[in-house]
Structure 1
Amino acid sequence: MTMDEIISFVGGFDGVLTMRPAPGDGTPEISWGDTFFYYAPDGTIATTAQPFATVVTKDYPGDEASHLDRPDTFRVNVAAGKEAFIRWTGHAPREDASAEVDPSATDTLMVHPVYGTAGWLAVVNPAGRTEAATRELLRAAHHLARARYERRAQSACTD
Structure 2
Amino acid sequence: PKTQPFATIITKDYPGDDACRLDRPGAFRLNIATRAPAAPEPRDDTVIVHPVYGRQGWVAIVNPGPATAATAVELLCAAHQRASSRRKSPH
Report the TM-score, using the length of structure 2 for normalisation: 0.88
The structure whose RCO (Cα within 8 Å, separation 6+) is larger is 2
Flag the structure with larger Rg.
Answer: 1
More helix, by proportion? 1
Q: Distance in 1 between matches of 2:38 and 2:77?
A: 11
Determine which of 12, 15, 19 is the counterpart of 1:65.
19
Which residue of 1 is the match for residue 41 of structure 2?
89
The alignment status of 1:140 with 2:78, answered yes or no, reads yes
Q: Distance in 2 between matches of 1:84 and 1:134?
A: 17
Q: Distance in 2 between matches of 1:146 and 1:65?
A: 31
The alignment status of 1:77 with 2:31, answered yes or no, reads yes
Determine which of 64, 74, 81 is the counterpart of 1:126.
64
1:82 CA drift (Å): 3.9
The structure 1 segments of at least 4 consecutive aligned residues displaced by more than 4 Å after TM superposition are none
Cα distance 1:83–1:116, how it changes in 2: closer, same or farther (>3 A)?
closer
- Deviations along 1:15-69, whole A, 9 cap, x unmatched? xxxxxxxxxxxxxxxxxxxxxxxxxxxxxx22xx111100000001111111100
CA contact (8 A) 2:11 2:29 kept: yes
Structure 2 counterpart of 1:129, one-letter code? A
The alignment status of 1:112 with 2:50, answered yes or no, reads yes
RMSD over aligned CA atoms reads: 1.9
Q: Distance in 2 between matches of 1:54 and 1:65?
A: 17
Structure 2 counterpart of 1:110, one-letter code? I
Q: Distance in 2 between matches of 1:118 and 1:82?
A: 5
Q: Distance in 1 between matches of 2:64 and 2:88?
A: 30
Q: Distance in 2 between matches of 1:60 and 1:71?
A: 16
Identity %: 52
Q: Distance in 2 between matches of 1:128 and 1:83?
A: 28
